[in-house]
Amino acid sequence: MAHQIEPLIACRECDLLLREIPLFPNDVASCRGCGAQLYRNTPNSLNRTLVFSLTAAILFIIANAYPILGIEIQGTRNATNLYGAVYSLWNHEMRIIALLVFATTILIPAVELTMMIYLLLPLCLRRKPPGIALNLRILQGIKPWGMIEVFMLGVLVSLVKLNDSFSIIPGVALWAFGGLTFMFATVAASFNPRDVWAHLDREPDGKGST
């Protein structure tokens, strides 16, 4: 790998080819042709994304373990968690919807968070996890299929509708889902695969200083 010659990158907006230059912390590189932002040097972005991912993981566990909402009918309380909702959809012959909810709200967010932590935790501890390129490719591929915010919206709409006829008790998991929606957006905003490669360029053996 020749480090003397800086690599070429293409502007996503106007396709102009430019030479990548090293940036000072917090600096932004813009395209010479159209002024679009090309990349930025955000110090500690991997550490920050790891903290957000771990927070999201804790919220995810709470969101899955506790009831989303409870309904009180004539003094009897009935609460359901996410698995209960999926199970009930499945039993009511709405199997495709059950599978969709399971995939977009449980499976894919779980895989996404696991892969994120698998990638970032070793990097932040100055180790290099195996399969980084594959991990990043899978992360990019599955990202559009995680739809916690759609689920959250659905729950809120049904909450408003049901509240006319029943007395609804919001569960712990509902608040956790709210936090999780926000945390997933924060992880997406703070994570840039570029920073992973920049980090590895600085510490190719994973043992240098940050």
Q: Which residues bind Zn ion (CB under 5 A)?
A: 11, 13-14, 16, 31, 33-34, 36
69 φ, ψ (degrees, to nearest 5): -155, 160
Please answer whether residues 174 and 132 qualify as being in contact, where contact means their C-beta atoms are separated by less than 8 angstroms.
Answer: no
Nearer to Zn ion, 29 or 62 (CB): 29
Among residues 30, 66, 45, which one has the least CA distance to residue 180?
66
Minimum CB–partner distance for residue 67 and Zn ion (Å): 50
CB contact burial 169-204 (16+ within 10 A = b; e otherwise): eebebbebbbbbbbbbebbeebbbebbbebbeeeee
Please answer whether residues 50 and 121 qualify as being in contact, where contact means their C-beta atoms are separated by less than 8 angstroms.
Answer: yes
Minimum CB–partner distance for residue 140 and Zn ion (Å): 22
Nearer to Zn ion, 31 or 89 (CB): 31
What are residue 8's DSSP bridge partners?
Answer: 19
Nearer to Zn ion, 14 or 97 (CB): 14
Nearer to Zn ion, 12 or 127 (CB): 12
Minimum CB–partner distance for residue 15 and Zn ion (Å): 7
Minimum CB–partner distance for residue 9 and Zn ion (Å): 11
Nearer to Zn ion, 29 or 110 (CB): 29
Helix 132-142 and helix 193-202, axial crossing angle in degrees, nearest 10? 170
Minimum CB–partner distance for residue 19 and Zn ion (Å): 14
